[in-house]
Amino acid sequence: MAKKRFFIYLFAMISLVLLTVVNANAQQAGQIQTMRWKVGDTTREAMVYIPAGANSKPTPVIFVFHGHGGTMRNMFNAHGFEKLWPEAIIIAPQGLNTPGQLTDPQGNLPGWQKAPGDMRDRDILFFDAILKTLRQDYKVDDKRIYATGHSNGGGFTYLLWAMRGDVFAAVAPSAAVGFRFSNLLKPKPAMHIMGEQDPLVKPKWQKIQYNQVLKLNGCSATGEVYAPMATLYPSASGNPVVLYIHPGGHVYPQEANAVVIRFFKSMVKP
């Protein structure tokens, strides 16, 4: 009987140790979850990675916006930012069905508002609600908040720069332009990602956009190698621009992920 009690005790102790190790590993690795918000009459959601220590130490935040017809899950998984910067909160919001500017005019697929006041600013209000929750529940580092997105999500990144620019330390739109509100942009560290064969958001349009950004930020005329396919244009005002020009079409190159994170890590709001 004593021997049996000993083995029961030993089994319990081993189980406790294993559970402690599992919990410790889970805390170290962070948690991925789906969070929801009520914005007006609509329930919105986002896929979120919360790192260990987000409650106790200043934590960077990266917003990642999918393109028209995309999903939060695909965008989150494709970028893998939680592996490249595990100390940061990573949040991939889900868009709502939206008429597309270049495709899907009926609005059968999810996307984002395209200008100030469009769709009653539903997505700007969604962004505000997310950020409010993160600031309430975690110790957000307000000097290190970032946004990136592809295609329609890249256009929305430009729109956030125009309407909520003071929030961000840097932005990184991909395959996008923001001509309708370029006059609202203020100098901000930025990275623009473009495919030289983009059949939708024409390279000539994107060149006009990023040249406007280079001028706005007071960047040097000559750039320097930053990474393969990426050129850094320094700025005397502290608002550098990285141009990531790849040979593909209307796609987001996986190789750009590490470059985006490198750029974001180097940019801290004054």
Confidence band (pLDDT; 50, 70, 90) for 18?
A: very low
Nearest-angstrom CA–CA distance, 46 and 34 = 6
* CB atoms closer than 10 angstroms to residue 219: 23
* CB atoms closer than 10 angstroms to residue 23: 10
> Which residue, chain included where needed, has tokens 């690795």?
29
Confidence band (pLDDT; 50, 70, 90) for 29?
A: low
Whole-angstrom CA distances from 35 to 129, 133, 154, 159, 267 are 12, 10, 22, 23, 27
Whole-angstrom CA distances from 92 to 16, 95, 167, 230 are 35, 10, 17, 24
Residue 211 burial (10 A CB sphere; 0-12, 13-18, 19+) = middle
Confidence band (pLDDT; 50, 70, 90) for 222?
A: very high
CB distance 93 to 72 below 8 Å: yes
CB distance 212 to 228 below 8 Å: no
CB environment 151-185: b (16+ within 10 A), e (fewer)? bbbbbbbbbbbbbeeebbbbbbbbbbbbebbbeeb
Tell me what the mean pLDDT of segment 200-226 comes to.
Answer: 97
Task: Please write the tens of the pLDDT for every residue from 79-126.
Answer: 999 999 999 999 999 999 998 777 878 888 999 999 999 999 999 999
Closest CA relative to residue 190, chosen from 147, 224, 229, 222? 147
Would you say residue 167 has pLDDT above 70?
A: yes
Closest CA relative to residue 147, chosen from 68, 206, 89? 89
Q: What is the pLDDT of residue 100?
A: 78
C-alpha angle with apex 62: 23 to 27, nearest 5 degrees?
Answer: 5
Mean pLDDT of the chain: 90
pTM, whole model, 2 decimals?
0.88
Domain ranges of the chain: 32-266
Would you say residue 10 has pLDDT above 90?
A: no
Q: What is the pLDDT of residue 30?
A: 84
Highest mean pLDDT: which range of 1-10, 45-54, 98-107: 45-54
Nearest-angstrom CA–CA distance, 2 and 20 = 27
According to CATH, the topology of domain 32-266 is Rossmann fold (3.40.50)
